[in-house]
Structure 1
Amino acid sequence: MLLVDVYLDKSPIQGIGVFAKNHIPRGTLVWKLHPNYDRRIPVEVYERETGPVRAYLDRYSYPDRRDPNFVVFEADDARFMNHADDPNCDVASPDETYALRDIAPGEEMTCNYNHFFETGFDFLGDRHL
């Protein structure tokens, strides 16, 4: 669950992105896994899905790094955070995300998707779990 004020807008990186409403100082906790809002979906449930539901999960879910039997779906706008090779948010921890540097109001918040996949980034539907 995002812990800072954000808004969604057209991203120069990809489709829709998450943008900071206010200044976010370096080191700020910006996201924390919250079991009431961020859903852990069993892999066998995810793998049974088809059509639009599966396509949505493929795009907006990622493997749970704490337990490979689950994927994580973020129920808030965090799911729209885009990848950057030089991100401003640190997602190295599976439970918390911190600002790597000061983030200006109106700046897109980004993370490195490679943290979610052992062999490099790919959307879930492009690989087998």
Structure 2
Amino acid sequence: MLLVDVYLDKSPIQGIGVFAKHHIRRGTLIWKLDPRFDRRIPVETYEGESGPVKSYLDRYSYPDRRDPNFIVFEADDARYMNHADDPNCDISSPEEAYALRDIVPGEELTCDYNHFFENGFDFLGDRHP
């Protein structure tokens, strides 16, 4: 769950993004996995889906780095956080995220998707190693 005030808006990176409502200081804990709200979905359940449900999970969930038998679906707007090669949020921990630098109001919160995918990922038609 996000621990800072944000809003959703059109992103110059991709579709919808998450933007800071207020100044966020470097080192601030901005997100924490909260099992009361964030869903861990068994991979076998995910793989059994098709159509719109599967497409939605493909876009807004990610592999659980603590257990490869699950994916994580965040219950709040954190699922709209976009990738950046030079992100302003550190998601290297599977259970917490911190601001890597000061983030100004109106700035999009970004993270490095490579933390979720060992072999890189496809993003906007580009392969990221």
Shift of 1:122: 3.8
TM-score when scaled to structure 2? 0.94
User: Residue in 1 aligned with 2:61?
Assistant: 61
Q: Deviating runs (4+, > 4 A) in structure 1? A: none
User: Residue in 2 aligned with 1:83?
Assistant: 83
Is residue 11 from structure 1 mapped to residue 14 from structure 2 by the alignment? no
CA distance in 2: counterparts of 1:93 and 1:117, whole angstroms? 14
CA distance in 2: counterparts of 1:30 and 1:112, whole angstroms? 15
User: Residue in 2 aligned with 1:32?
Assistant: 32
Deviations 1:31-78 (A, max 9, x none): 000001110000000000111000000000100000000000011000
CA distance in 2: counterparts of 1:54 and 1:121, whole angstroms? 17
**Which consecutive unaligned segments of at least 5 residues does structure 2 have?**
124-129
Partner AA of 1:98 in structure 2 = Y
Is residue 113 from structure 1 mapped to residue 106 from structure 2 by the alignment? no
CA distance in 2: counterparts of 1:24 and 1:47, whole angstroms? 38
Is residue 93 from structure 1 mapped to residue 93 from structure 2 by the alignment? yes
User: Residue in 2 aligned with 1:126?
Assistant: none
User: Residue in 2 aligned with 1:72?
Assistant: 72
CA RMSD after TM alignment: 0.8
Aligned-pair identity (%): 83
Shift of 1:2: 0.2
User: Residue in 2 aligned with 1:52?
Assistant: 52
TM-score when scaled to structure 1? 0.94
Question: When the two structures are aligned, how many residues end up with a matched partner?
Answer: 123
CA distance in 1: counterparts of 2:79 and 2:63, whole angstroms? 13
Deviations 1:76-101 (A, max 9, x none): 00000000000000000000000000
Partner AA of 2:48 in structure 1 = R
